Structure 1
Amino acid sequence: MKPAIQYSFISRYLPLIFAPLAVGCQSATKKAPQQPNVLFILTDDMQATSIHALGNNDVHTPAIDSLISEGITFTNTYTNGALCGALSMPSRAMLMTGRGLYDIQADGMKIPKAHTTFPQQFRRHGYRTFATGKWHSDHASFNRSFEEGDNIYFGGMHPYELNGHRSPHLNHYDSTGVYGQETKFIGEEFSSKMYADAAIRFLQKQKDEKQPFLAYVAFTSPHDPRNQLPDYGQKYNSDTLGLPRNFLPQHPFDNGEMDVRDELLVPAPRTEKQVQKELADYYGMISEVDVQIGRIMQALHATGQAENTIIVFASDNGLAVGRHGLLGKQNLYNHSVKVPLSIIAPAYKSRKGEKNKSLCYLHDIAPTLCELANIPLPESMNAHSLYPIFEDSTITTHRKDLFLAYSSIQRAFVNEEYKYIIYHAGGKTTEQLFDLLQDPLEMHNLLPENMEEADKLKSQLAFRMEEEDDFCDLSQPDWWQDGHKLTFEEMQQLYVYE
């Protein structure tokens, strides 16, 4: 195994410290007369295509639709990937720190002190910071980021055996960061309502406050378990739901994750009725979290603070739910790596309802928020801010291409026209090439007929992998070591920062 990659913070970022600041940060030390508040709403495992306002007529999402109608929606937002099956862990760590997959520690299990989170930066610059819901990293980084919070969930998902979302195992805020038996309790309401209740209590206290606030609300819906929906929210009859056009009973080849937990919830091959049932439960969870988002937005408006609040709506990753013969998210198809992202910024109300197709990463949000609030970027943040798009509506190119990775078995390269995916699983290499403009559902592999384009993208992918310090090497027959899938223990030894 390749030795753990140790980074010195100073040597890695010294060139960035003296680099010219991005537009909008040059005057960042001078605060605006009235700094905007921030309300960040994050869902869990929500596809970009599972929202009514974004084209899904089967699902009922009036609160989310309202946010999309008021903000700028970035329709080509991707998460960078993951080294293990729990995609939300790296996704949320990247989101918090404004850093890519190979720039976070051990897939986000820990956010080291050297990596400043955007709430931490806001806190340093006079914001009151609050969080409720899911935190999929260490306690210390949570407390550095937020000075208060409630109904906090430390972990990946609410276990089936502990009654799932109906009995969420939560924590009250602990200023010491210990979070032991004295802070733990079992929620008496469905998880989404517990998180919304905590957020509403916090917002109600801000009615007459002059200090700006940042509130982070991280739902665990619509992540499974989905077998016990709450009484509220839209319910769906599986027989009336249409199947995704890219539905398959099973994936056409071994992608290296055929037996991961997510894929075993309903073993393949899956019938149309089985997938319709999964979709009905999934949409039910989306509708229930939509109800709670609506309650939070109503509370924000009641405070009189809405007109001066930046509102972000996003998800940490997507989910297959029958597409390409898959159920889970351990893949690099768009249904699993593309996420919804809409930002409402008070200074750009004239832009409401816009859709921007620029390629971007989810972790580009962190520097964007800093610039929108006129707060200097922390030195550890290396994502690309979307702020120029707010300033200029004609910009439709943010990043020219994206690099995606999953474990040691899948890599992908995306540009404005194509996606190239390469797999190394069970000793076999498989390649796919999709024309995203003509085939956004990725149903038609253009290989082997279009090998010239694939080879060009593969070369660009290999360059990006080297540039990002990827531990895999496409020029090697096994990519790394003997080609086995990276274990959780091995993952913890990679990309360790001082």
Structure 2
Amino acid sequence: MQSPLLSKLIRLFGALTLASVYSAQAAAEKPNFVFIIADDMSYETLGAAGMLDIDTPHLDSMVEAGTSFTHAYNMGAWGGAVCAASRTMLNNGRFLWQAQESTKPAIENKQMWGQRMQQAGYQTYFAGKWHVPHATPVSLFNVTKNIRQGMPKQTPAGYNRPKSPEDYAEGWKPWETKYGGFWEGGKHWSEVLADDSSEFLTTAAKEDKPFFMYLAFNAPHDPRQAPKEYIDRYPLDRIKLPKNVLGQYPYADKICGLTLRDEKLMPYPRTEYAIKVHRQEYFALITHMDDQIGRILEAVKSSGKADNTYIVFTADHGLAVGHHGLSGKQNMYDHSVRVPFLVVGPGVKAGAQIDTPIYLQDVTATSIDLAGAPDESIDFKSLMPLLRGETTQHYDSIYGAYMNRQRMITKGDWKLISYPTAGVERLFNLKKDPNEMDDLAQNPEYASKLEEMRTALTTLSTELNDPLTQESSPKRVKKRKK
């Protein structure tokens, strides 16, 4: 006859064994996540989007295999390094002005993205560009490799170029390894990330736990360096100038500054030659990155776990590279605030397109939702209701900000850009004017629409705890420069 103590131990052991079985089953049912993010990649730079003559066959295959969000936005930045704000929001799940203050508390409360996924039972991996102030991925992910804290080092020779074909012939060239940057360490950083990703996936395939991978390219950020064969794929006669090209943006000195690092990459005034060379290098680096993404996609397939894996590709913001006479991302035009956003995975409709506006950081809430650990402390929204076709509604309007110098609201077909320090407003009908060239702010026919958008921006700014009080009024707005 068993003693009461022995019976209790047997029951306890049985319960623990059963619990571990259920736990293993639950882990097996959870989907895996591969999150791939680029740096400085505009929404227009996908070949499948049909806007530019650019080669991105592997990303195009994701478009075919999954769902594309055509209007994915970054909310903005509190400083010139827009990626730092974008990636901070991504990792702590808070809207712009809350994110600026919440990284340290989020780490302490185990609320950073990698920590949340670990708590949900995931084996977590990180490699590539980080750039989140006051945080290090080593303490937030189970496995890390080749962490790049910021951009590849630029050199003086990489600025204010090229002034002419002769200047180009004698100056900085993207394939020359002597300039370091992406070539620092002896192997192009995009190729290193693909190596690390494949290694992670080989290991993860053998794990019982579901996996979460955060794979962050530095490309196509400057210095835009790629092997010469990729540059050669884009002869200058293949490159078309943007329709909204300008020699210099009329408010550049007020909204970001002519001496801003990104704006100093190209000479002033912007010339057709310089813009084409920079876009050549931009496209080449994107195509080179696309080939590395192809290696990652193949590694997912080879892992044997593709059927239960969500793959998301996006970027932390876009880039001008000649649009509106601008070079960088420190502006509120779509070429700089909109990014690609592709989702492939179980139950995701193939070849589908969703035009509902989202924030790119919604991926954080989405992954946590699918991991079975939703958290109300995350400001962003899960995309699953959109992906499942349960709704077409998400955010009423989209907000954008850059320091105290720029504000933006996109609502329906309309966009209002406000430059508080310059006393200027710009109003665009995005449906009729997708290149944002026809400013309607001074047109009396649109006075009521302008006032409507001002009110909407003020309301949204208040909701988001914007530190800058919006006080735009007709009396305060200067006459637009010609």
Normalised by the length of structure 1, the TM-score is 0.81
Deviation at 1:232, TM superposition (A): 5.7
Distance 2:205 2:467 in 1: 50
Q: Letter of the 2:404 partner, please give it.
A: S
Which whole-Å CA distance do the structure 1 matches of 2:230 and 2:325 have between them? Answer: 28
Supply the distance in 2 between the matched residues of 1:125 and 1:324 (Cα, whole angstroms). 45
Deviations 1:289-320 (A, max 9, x none): 01110111111111111111100000000000
Distance in 1 (alpha carbons) for counterparts of 2:151 and 2:109: 24
Q: Which residue of 1 aligns with 2:182?
A: 166
Offset at residue 269 of structure 1 (A):
1.4
Alignment deviations for residues 405-458 of structure 1 (CA, whole Å, 9 cap, x no partner): 111010011112100001033xx3111111011111111111211121111111
* Cα separation, 1, equivalents of 2:106 and 2:270: 39
Specify the alignment match of 1:274 in structure 2.
Answer: 274
* Structure 2 equivalent of residue 384 of structure 1: 381
CA contact (8 A) 2:27 2:210 kept: no
CA positional deviation for 1:207: 2.9
Name structure 1 gaps, 5 residues minimum.
Answer: 1-29, 169-186, 478-498
Kept in 1: contact 2:46–2:60 (CA 8 A): yes
1:390 and 1:286 map into 2 onto residues whose CA distance is: 27
Give CA deviations for 1:16-59 in whole Å, capped at 9, x if unaligned. Answer: xxxxxxxxxxxxxx947521111111000000001101113411
- Aligned 8 A contact 2:110 2:116 in 1: no
Residues 109 and 138 of structure 1 are in contact (CA less than 8 Å); yes or no, is this contact kept in structure 2? no
| Cα distance in 1 between the residues matched to 2:347 and 2:117 | 18
Which of 16, 32, 35 aligns to 2:30? It is 35
Identity of matched residues, %: 36
Structure 1 residue ranges, 4+ long, deviating more than 6 angstroms after superposition: 107-110
Question: What is residue 15 of structure 2 aligned with on the other side?
Answer: none
Aligned to 2:245: 247
Which stretch of the first structure deviates more once superposed, 42-51 or 397-406? 397-406
Using the TM superposition, give the Cα deviation of residue 467 of structure 1 relative to its aligned residue in structure 2, in angstroms.
Answer: 1.7
Q: CA shift at 1:110, angstroms?
A: 9.0
- Residues 223-238 of structure 1: pairs in structure 2 closer than 5 A: 223-226=221-224, 228-231=225-228, 233=230, 235-238=233-236
Q: Distance in 2 between matches of 1:268 and 1:109?
A: 41
C-alpha separation in 1, matches of 2:321 and 2:374: 38
Query: What residue is the counterpart of 1:437 in the other structure?
Result: 431
What SS does the aligned partner of 2:204 have? coil
Q: Decide whether the 8 Å contact of 2:263 with 2:327 is kept in 1.
A: yes
Task: Give the stretch that moved more between structures: 315-324 or 113-122.
Answer: 113-122
Residue number in structure 2 paired with 1:325: 325
Give the aligned partner of residue 85 of structure 1.
80
Which one of 124, 146, 149 corresponds to residue 119 of structure 2? 124
Deviation at residue 105 of structure 1 after TM alignment: 2.5
**CA separation of 1:311 and 1:221: change in aligned 2, threshold 3 A:** same
Q: How does 1:303-342 map to 2 (within 5 A)?
A: 303-342=303-342
Please show how residues 31-430 of structure 1 align to structure 2 within 5 Å.
31=26, 34-106=29-101, 112-114=107-109, 116-138=111-133, 140-160=135-155, 163-168=179-184, 187-226=185-224, 228-231=225-228, 233=230, 235-254=233-252, 255-259=254-258, 260-348=260-348, 351-373=349-371, 375-392=372-389, 395-425=391-421, 428-430=422-424
- 1:470 aligned residue (442, 466, 474): 466
Query: Aligned letter for 2:40?
Result: D
Please report how far the alpha carbon of residue 208 of structure 1 lies from its aligned counterpart in structure 2 after TM superposition.
3.2
Change (3 A) 1:141 1:111: farther
Secondary structure at 1:310 match in 2:
strand
Deviation, structure 1 residue 473: 0.9
SS in 2 for 1:236: coil
CA distance in 1, matches of 2:263, 2:410: 25
Larger radius of gyration: 2
8 A contact 1:204–1:303 mirrored in 2:
yes
Q: Over residues 218-245 of structure 1, what are the superposed CA-to-partner deviations in whole Å (9 max), with x where a residue is unaligned?
A: 000000002x422564631122211111
Task: Work out the CA distance in 2 between the residues paired with 1:325 and 1:109.
Answer: 38
**Alignment check: 8 A CA contact 2:138 2:144 kept:** no
Q: How many residues were matched structurally?
A: 423
Residue 466 of structure 1 aligns to a residue whose secondary structure is: helix
CA 1:362–1:303 in structure 2 vs 1: closer, same or farther (change >3 Å)?
A: same
TM-superposed CA distance for 1:72, in Å, is 1.1
Distance 1:140 1:403, change over 3 A: closer
Instruction: Please tell me the residue identity of whatever aligns with 1:390.
Output: L
Distance in 1 between the 2:123 and 2:229 partners?
32
Contact 1:91 1:317 in 2 (8 A): yes
Whole-Å separation in 1 of the counterparts to 2:317 and 2:441:
27
Task: Confirm or deny: 8 A CA contact 2:27 2:121 kept in the other structure.
Answer: no
Tell me which residue corresponds to 1:175.
Answer: none
Secondary structure in structure 2 of the residue aligned to 1:105: helix
- Measured after TM superposition, the shift of residue 345 of structure 1 is 2.1
Residue-by-residue CA offset, 1:56-78 (whole Å, 9 max, x unaligned): 34110011111111111111110
Tell me the alpha carbon deviations over residues 101-133 of structure 1, each in whole angstroms, 9 at most, x when there is no partner: 011135979964347123211111211100100
Counterparts of 2:104 and 2:265, CA distance in 1: 25
Question: Contact between 1:409 and 1:423, CA under 8 Å: does it hold in 2?
Answer: yes
Task: Select between 157-166 and 252-261 the one with higher mean Cα deviation.
Answer: 157-166
Aligned twin of 1:5: none
Unaligned residue ranges in structure 2 (runs of 5+): 1-24, 157-177, 474-482
Aligned-pair RMSD on alpha carbons? 2.2
- Secondary structure of 1:371 counterpart: helix
The 10-residue stretch of structure 1 (407-416 or 56-65) with the greater mean CA deviation from structure 2: 56-65
How far off its partner does 1:336 sit?
0.3
Give a deviation string over 1:358-396, Cα, whole Å, max 9, x none. Answer: 1111111111112223x2123421212111112216x33
Return the TM-score normalized by structure 2.
0.83
